[in-house]
Homo-oligomer: A and B are copies of this chain.
Amino acid sequence: MAKRGPYEKGEAKRAEILRAALEIFAAEGYRGTSLRKVAAKCNLSLPGLMHYFDSKEDMLTRVLEARDEAARIKQIERGGSFDAGEIMRDGTRTPGLVELFVSMAAAAGDPSHPAHAHFSERYPVMRERLGEYLRHRMEAGAISDSIPAERLAVLLIALADGIQLQWLTDRSIDMTQPFNDLMRLLENGSEG
């Protein structure tokens, strides 16, 4: 039986909207995508859609959150490892979604932007998680600790975001190469 309670239908519709929005952005990109298109895909009028979200940017923030959550689950299913190849493949299957992420991250610099809270929480959390993983790998002697784990986490996250930007204009670029290069450098490092 489905979940009970007064918000049952609303929550289902909410999820349907987010799924539809994700599909449209994946197919048509960030530009040229309107709320009316998303509404039509859900058999809803524009105000009908706006009943579920405060604004367009609020909706997009939820799309990003849902995507982050899905990525997190996938990563746990993989055993909690931070394999660059798999993470890049999962996160960048379509240019439209990469464009969405990058554009939102840029706009979220403004503290009044709905996604500001999302990103100012996301980055520290990711740094923490990745940093902890790296610390374990350092203690196990798998990689050099010549760069402190927290700082290496900042570096790797920047690398991941930045290589996506280059990939958007040149799809032939190998997004895993910089990670491999850097990791080999850390494996050849002084201490074991």
In the complex, which residues of chain B have a beta carbon less than 8 angstroms from the beta carbon of A54?
A: none
Q: Which residues of B contact A109 (CB under 8 A)?
A: 29, 95, 98-99, 168-169
Q: What 1/0 mask marks residues of chain A from 139 to 166 whose CB sits below 8 Å from any chain B CB?
A: 0000010110001101101111111011
Check if A105 is an interface residue, CB within 8 A of chain B. yes
Do the beta carbons of A105 and B169 come within 8 Å of each other? yes
Cα distance A95–B109 in the bound complex, in angstroms: 7
Interface residues on A, range: 35 or more
CB distance from A63 to the nearest CB of B (A): 15
Which one of B30, B119, B154, B166 contacts A169 once the chains associate, using CB atoms below 8 Å?
A: B119
Known: A162-B158, A181-B152. A110 touches B29 (CB 8 A): yes
CA distance A124 to B146 in the complex (A): 31
Please tell me if A184 contacts chain B, counting CB pairs below 8 Å: yes
B152 touches A105 (CB 8 A): no
Assembled-state Cα–Cα distance A189/B186 (Å): 10
Which residues on B sit within 8 Å (CB–CB) of A107? 29-31, 99, 103
Tell me the complex Cα distance, A163–B98, Å: 17
Partner of A31, one of B110, B166, B168, B169: B110
- Please, could you name 19 A-B residue pairs with CB atoms under 8 Å apart, sorted by A? A30-B106, A31-B107, A31-B110, A99-B109, A102-B105, A102-B165, A106-B106, A106-B168, A120-B169, A123-B169, A146-B185, A151-B177, A154-B178, A158-B161, A158-B163, A161-B161, A161-B165, A162-B165, A188-B189
